[in-house]
Each structure stands twice: as structure tokens, then as C-alpha cells.
Amino acid sequence: MPQLDTSTWFTTIMTMLPTLYLIMQLKLLNTNHHQPPLTKTPTLQSHNVRWQPKWTKTCLPLSQPQQF
């Protein structure tokens, strides 16, 4: 049974590492990095409503104790 020749493994692995590093750097260079959205000043819009704007009481669910 022949022995496995491992004399070139070190050279192969050591040249593969920088090559993989360079390939990954080139891939990252070509990716699109999204810019954060620009901040806009909020504009208040008036809505036409047919009802009177007023505060109403909010009913609590029965499972919560009532607070006075």
C-alpha cells in the first residue's frame, strides 16, 4: 500500500490562505452597502373628519383591578 505524499501540503495551504483572503476582500468590495435613510422634517397634515375631536375614557379589561 503506497504512502500518502504530504510534502506539498504545507505550500498548498500557505498559498491558499492569502488567495482566499484576497477573494473575500474583492467580494466585499463589490457588495452594496445601504445608506441610512435621510431624515425628513415631519409635516403635519390636517385631516378632514366629520366628528368632534375630544378625549374619551378608555375601558380597562375586567382582569385588571380598577384604580381610582
**pLDDT score of 56 more than 70:** no
Mean pLDDT of the chain: 78
**pLDDT score of 48 more than 70:** no
pLDDT score at 62: 65
Going by pLDDT thresholds of 50, 70 and 90, the confidence category of residue 31 is confident
Going by pLDDT thresholds of 50, 70 and 90, the confidence category of residue 35 is confident
Instruction: For the chain, give the number of residues.
Output: 68
Residue 64, amino acid: Q
* 7 compared with 34, residue with greater pLDDT: 7
